[in-house]
Amino acid sequence: MQYATLRLESRPEGVLVATLNRPEVANAFDTRAALDLIALFESLRPDGPHRCIVVTGAGDRAFCAGADLKERSGFSDSEWHAQHESFERMFRSVLDCPLPVIAAVNGAAYAGGLELVLCCDFAYASRAARFALTEVSLGIMPGGGGTQTLPRAVGERRAKELILASRPFTAEEALAWGVVNRLCEPGRVVDETIEVATRIAGNAPLSVRAAKRAIAAGLQTDLRSGLALEIEAYDKLVGTEDRREGINAFNEKRKPIFRGR
């Protein structure tokens, strides 16, 4: 599919690279960009050709600067609400994606850009990247999940400092606080993210999706209930072709060929 604000690249290993392609405005998302992301992520199916998604930004200056405030200039209250409903659906479509989604943060990730990173399963970042949730300095507040996803990543007290003070933070701080998993040299973040995405895509897709669901659901409940969720998911994998292929390949000392069955 073709999108006005996204550049897509399908890798033969089952990795899809989705690049936010509005570098002239630091890859900020306007209504069209939100609708493009919704269309992409709501089209992704477990039985489709892709097994892992990488999200990045065009250029080396910005991952995403958040909402395009120039488009919002002059909006009435009702127009603002209507547009934001699209933004809400956009973030949910990433958060609810059944496939693993990894952010390759190539530059600044501010406001909704950082919220997009936090909706992904995890992120790698350039050492030159910078982060912030700046909404309260504009008379609004995070509305793409930031008040919920950031505390889950960095803890309540750190999140309050960052959000209430609109405090930017560095890539090194993002790594130390758990916002990103790895720092890469400038120009290397997309390649290194694709490397781990390819590794994920090479694993049993039913197992990867089941583990992703179990982690997400288990974190919303107590440990005993989470363990029960894990075993329920585990038991469903025992009868799959991929489970038999994985064990046979291990014993035969060869690379398994997983078919998602």
Task: Report the catalytic residues.
Answer: 67, 112, 115, 135
With CA atoms as reference, report the closest residue to 23 among 93, 89, 101, 107: 107
User: Contact at 8 Å (CB) between 66 and 29?
Assistant: yes
Dist CA 81 CA 157 (whole Å): 30
Question: Which of 100, 155, 92, 84 lies closest to 119 in space, CA to CA?
Answer: 92
With contact defined as beta carbons under 8 Å apart, do 97 and 121 qualify? no
- DSSP letters of 215-256? HHHHTTS-HHHHHHHHHHHHHHHHTSHHHHHHHHHHHTTS--
Residue with the two structure tokens 């009868």: 239
